[in-house]
Chain A
Amino acid sequence: MRTTIGFVFAALLAAVPASAHHAFAVEFDAKNCSDITGVLTKVDYQNPHAYIYVDAKENGQTVQKTFQLSSTSNLKRGGATLPVMNASVGKEVLVRGCASRNGEDNRYAASFIKLADGTVQRLGQDVEGVFGTKVWR
C-alpha cells in the first residue's frame, strides 16, 4: 500500500516544476536547528521575506532573536496573515529556527511557530525536513 501511495505522489509531483524558492539551506544550517521560546515582540511583513523578532531568555539575560520567514504571499496563503501573527505579539511563543551559516548570532530561518493560542503555524521552508519534505535545494 505504501509503495502505491508513494508511486502516486511521486507521479503527481514529477509533473510539478522545480519550484525552488530562495534556498534557505544555503543561508541557514539545517543541522543547527532548535526550538526557541520567548516573547514575540514584533512582526515585520515585507518581501522577499517577512521577519519576526522574539525576546528569549538566555542565562538570565534577554536576547533578541531574528527569524526570517517566507514571503508575505506564502504566509498569507498558508494562513499566517498579519492579524493572525500580530495576535501573539507581547505573548510567549515557540519558534523552530535554523541558525544562520554566516556567523551572525541570533539570526535564524523559521519553519513554524506555536502561537500564543497553541496553533502550530507554518512559517517557511522545511530546511530540516520536519514536515516530511525531505529534499530542499
Chain B
Amino acid sequence: MKTYIGLWLAAMLMLPAATATAQDPTAGGAGQKPFVEARGNVRPVPLPPGGPPPRMADGKVDLSGVWFQGPTGKANAWSVVPDEPLKQDPIPFQSWAEAKIKGMSRAELELNNPGVACRPVGTPGMWTINYYPHQIITKPGLYVHLIESDNAWSVVHTDGRPHKPADELEPLYNGDQTARWEGDTLVIDTISLDERTWIEANGWFHSDQAHVIERIRRPSMNYLEYQYTIEDPKVLTKPWTSAWRTLSLGSEDLTENFCTNNENADQLKKLTEVESNAK
C-alpha cells in the first residue's frame, strides 16, 4: 500500500509533463511516424488511497464494489503505456507438465485458453484469465463475486464451514468453495476443480488434486488486492504463491458481456493448420 501512495504522489507531480510528452508528435522517435491520437486511448492515472476501507456490521472489511484491474479505477485495455508482467517466482512445474505446455504453439495456446474458447474460466481464472471488471458484494457470512466476462459468478459462504464430504464432491469449474476471515483478509479455499480450467492464461493446466487458496484484502477505500496459492502434487513439484494483484474501485456498473459469437476458434484452427503444413 505504501508503494501505491508513493506512486500516486509521484504520478500527480509528473502528470502535466507526462501528458505533454504523450502528445508530442515526435514521440514515436526519430525517423518513426508519430503515435496516433485516438478517442479511447487511456493514459493511466492512479487513484489516491481514499482513506480506510469500509466495514460491515460484523466488523469485517466490506469488499463490496466494482473493481478494475490496475490502479486507475477504470478500464485500462487501451492504455498507451505497455504494462509489465507481475514479478513472481517461477512456477515449479513437474518436467512433464512443463514440456507439455512448451510443446504448444502460440496459436494452440490461444485455441486451448478457456478465456479465448469462451469456456468458464473458473477458479482462480475469474481473477487470472479475466480482463474485465469485477463486482464484489460482501455481507456478513457471504461473498458474491460477479465478473463481466461472460457474465460469470461465484457465491461462497464465509463462515469457515468445511468442504463437502468426499463422497459428495463433483468436478466443478469454480470447485467446492468455502471461506473464512483471517484478520482483515478473506481466505477462500477451493478443491474439486474441473480439469478443463486453466490456472493462468499461459497454458497452466491442473489436475484433479489442485487446491487453490485465494486471499482478498482491501487495504484502503480505493484498492483491493488479490493473491492465490496453489498446491497440485500431480503437476507441480511444490506449492506456489502468486504476487499480489492490485485492483481499484470503479464508479461504473458492469455491462453485459456474453461470449456468443466466438469466431476466434475457427480462425485459430485454420492458423494451426497453416502452421502445421508449413513445417
| Residues of A near any B CB (own CB < 8 A) | 1-2, 4-5, 8-23, 26-27, 44, 46-49, 51, 68, 70-80, 96, 100-104, 107, 111-112, 119-123, 126, 130-136
Contacts and interface: CB of A to CB of B under 8 A. Distances in A.
A21 B79 CA distance: 12
Contact of B110 (A8, A22, A68, A80): A22
Q: Which of A5, A12, A74 has the most CB of B within 10 A?
A: A12
A27 to B, nearest CB: 6
A77 B106 contact: no
A48 B259 contact: yes
> DSSP majority for the B interface?
loop
25 contacts: A5-B21, A8-B7, A8-B10, A8-B14, A12-B71, A13-B83, A15-B70, A15-B71, A16-B76, A16-B246, A17-B69, A20-B131, A21-B131, A22-B264, A23-B106, A47-B260, A75-B40, A77-B75, A101-B274, A120-B36, A123-B40, A131-B35, A131-B41, A132-B80, A134-B82
Given A112-B36, A132-B22, A17 B264 contact: no
Nearest to A44: B261
Contact of A16 (B10, B11, B69, B262): B69
A70 to B, nearest CB: 7
B95 interface: no
B168 interface: no
B44 A16 contact: yes
B77 interface: yes
A132 B28 contact: yes
A46 B260 contact: yes
Contacts of A14: 84, 87
Contacts of A16: 44, 69-71, 76, 83-84, 246
B18 A8 contact: yes
A73 B77 CA distance: 10
Contact of A17 (B70, B80, B259): B70
B77 A100 contact: no
Nearest to A50: B261
Contacts of A46: 260-261
